[in-house]
Amino acid sequence: LAKTTQPISMDSYEGQEVNITCSHNNIATNDYITWYQQFPSQGPRFIIQGYKTKVTNEVASLFIPADRKSSTLSLPRVSLSDTAVYYCLVGLLNTNAGKSTFGDGTTLTVKP
């Protein structure tokens, strides 16, 4: 099982950049790294996915070092609506979903 470790919580202020790091020391060669966002009483929402180096989309960037044993989700200029739980998953999500577990996630609180 691809185990991940993230900080339990983080605080930030509106307009700041937030970086959330996830450790995944036992990542396998074929595994991808995927980040989800979850608001209360809603299902997880896909944010970004990567395999190595850097990936950027319209909402976030994902930095993956060469050894792939960690990854960092970067949220530029957060707003109050970015307050949510952020999950890092490692694995092959559609063919081995059972081995890509949601951990405790990081609760991000954005303050005005």
Partner 1 sequence: EPEVTQTPSHQVTQMGQEVILRCVPISNHLYFYWYRQILGQKVEFLVSFYNNEISEKSEIFDDQFSVERPDGSNFTLKIRSTKLEDSAMYFCASTPRGQINQPQHFGDGTRLSIL
Structural contact between residues 71 and 62, judged by C-beta atoms closer than 8 angstroms: yes
Residue 71 lies near partner 1 (rule: CB under 8 A): no
Count, in order, helices (H) and strands (E) of the chain.
0, 9
Select the span of 5-13, 15-23, 44-52, 62-70 touching partner 1 (CB under 8 A).
Answer: 44-52
Per the CB < 8 A criterion, the answer to whether 2 and 31 are in contact is: yes
Tell me if 32 contacts partner 1 by CB under 8 A: yes
Nearer residue to partner 1 within complex by CB, 36 or 75 = 36
Q: Are 6 and 102 in contact (CB under 8 A)?
A: no
Chain residues binding partner 1 by CB under 8 A are 32, 34, 36, 38, 41-46, 49, 51, 87, 92-98, 100-105
